[in-house]
């Protein structure tokens, strides 16, 4: 019986079975279809314009490492005309982020892309190690998620970029749909599947891997022999997302198309007009200038709670009431630097008057 051949080229021996389609294909064909599918996602969604300055959110993990490799490859192959940068956020997690940033610095050398590292310590005066020491592990991911999102926007504004791309993959998007359904979070459910988001006061950000399976990203990194950091965050095992991830993996085992099916279901959700009218309008934080649906943004509220020894402020209703009852904010309280988006023409933000230095080499 003749050996089985690649389902695409019909000439080489297959070495893998695509989790996404079930096809048995060779390594060369896998690289080509993987890269082409991401290219098609980018072009069909019209994510970029020639001349855009794009920051790649780089953590050193598999998703962001493959994203950096793919963005540079496709930018060169299809002449997107993008100026690419690596942007890393150092949350201050000893034994995890310090090690992963060494991988980012290695990527910086391999891809010859400028690198900027912005730390929680610089921006907020707290590391995640400090925060966990005060709040414990129950709600620490809330702090990190809020602080990280704002740090990415602030780091991008310092670079003067038009656009941030992140390594969120199809599994991540499907997990988020499930989480928002389970929490009854209608506002987020209506926008969590968007491939590209941009508010009036935030930098455009997108997910080129929106339809890309996590397993295929791992396979691509493995067969390409890319340098990436594979350890999970030491503070994340108790995160709520983990329950959605476990449930999704069980669904995928029974039906591989479940991931894409959930994403398409999320895309099809429509929020009734009366629900939209009940949602808070977007404004800017009176203290730091970042986008917010309240007078104070979530990051400022969380930081004030930390500074005043009220860890639950901004997390629970009881915590918010305790913070309000504690009286006016002390004048000597540490706060987040004011955030301002300056535009050049209509293309996007320009660097702040005194932008923080770019890490031009691996020493970061």
Binding residues for ATP: 57-59, 63, 89, 167, 172
φ, ψ at 83 (rounded to 5°): -95, 115
Give the DSSP letter string of 335-364. Answer: -PPPP--EESTTS-EE--SSPPPPB-STT-
Helix (H) or strand (E) holding 147: helix 140-159
Q: Which residues are annotated as a binding site?
A: 57-59, 63, 89, 167, 172
Collapse the DSSP code of 314 into the 3-class scheme (helix H, G, I; strand E, B; otherwise coil) and give the result: coil
Plot region of 130 (φ>0 → left; ψ -120 to 50 → alpha; else → beta): alpha
Which residue reads 């030491």 in tokens? 234
Alpha-carbon distance of 308 to 134, in angstroms, equals 11
Alpha-carbon distance of 112 to 237, in angstroms, equals 34
Alpha-carbon distance of 248 to 326, in angstroms, equals 43
Tokens read off for 269: 């959700």
């Amino acid at each position: 019986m003749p050996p089985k051949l690649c389902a695409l080229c019909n000439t080489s021996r297959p070495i893998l079975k695509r989790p996404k389609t079930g096809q048995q294909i060779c390594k060369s064909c896998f690289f080509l279809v993987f890269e082409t599918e991401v290219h098609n996602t980018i072009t069909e969604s019209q994510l970029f314009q020639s001349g855009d300055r794009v920051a790649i959110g780089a953590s050193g993990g598999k998703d962001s490492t493959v994203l950096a490799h793919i963005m540079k490859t496709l930018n060169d192959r299809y002449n997107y005309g993008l100026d690419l940068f690596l942007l890393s956020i150092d949350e201050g997690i000893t034994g995890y982020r310090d090690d992963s940033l060494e991988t980012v610095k290695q990527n910086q050398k391999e891809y010859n892309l400028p690198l900027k590292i912005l730390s929680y310590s610089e921006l907020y005066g707290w590391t995640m190690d400090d925060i966990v020491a005060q709040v414990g592990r129950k709600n620490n991911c809330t702090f990190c998620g809020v602080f990280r999102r704002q740090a990415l926007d602030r780091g991008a504004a310092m670079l003067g970029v038009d656009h941030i791309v992140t390594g969120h993959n199809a599994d991540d998007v499907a997990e988020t749909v499930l989480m928002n359904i389970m929490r009854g979070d209608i506002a987020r459910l209506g926008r969590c599947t968007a491939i590209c988001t941009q508010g009036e006061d935030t930098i455009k950000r997108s997910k080129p891997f929106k339809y890309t399976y996590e397993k295929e990203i791992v396979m691509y990194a493995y067969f390409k022999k890319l340098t990436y950091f594979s350890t999970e965050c030491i503070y994340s095992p108790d995160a709520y997302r983990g329950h959605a991830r476990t449930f999704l993996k069980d669904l995928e085992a029974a039906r591989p198309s479940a991931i894409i099916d959930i994403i398409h279901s999320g895309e099809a959700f429509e929020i009734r007009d009366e629900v939209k009218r009940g949602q808070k309008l977007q404004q800017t934080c009176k203290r730091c200038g970042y986008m917010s649906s309240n007078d104070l943004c979530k990051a400022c509220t969380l930081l004030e709670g930390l500074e005043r020894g009220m860890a639950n402020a901004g997390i629970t209703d009881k915590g918010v009431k305790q913070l309000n009852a504690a009286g006016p904010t002390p004048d000597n309280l540490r706060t987040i630097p004011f955030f301002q988006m300056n535009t050049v023409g209509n293309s996007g933000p320009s660097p702040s008057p005194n932008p923080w230095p770019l890490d031009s080499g691996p020493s970061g």
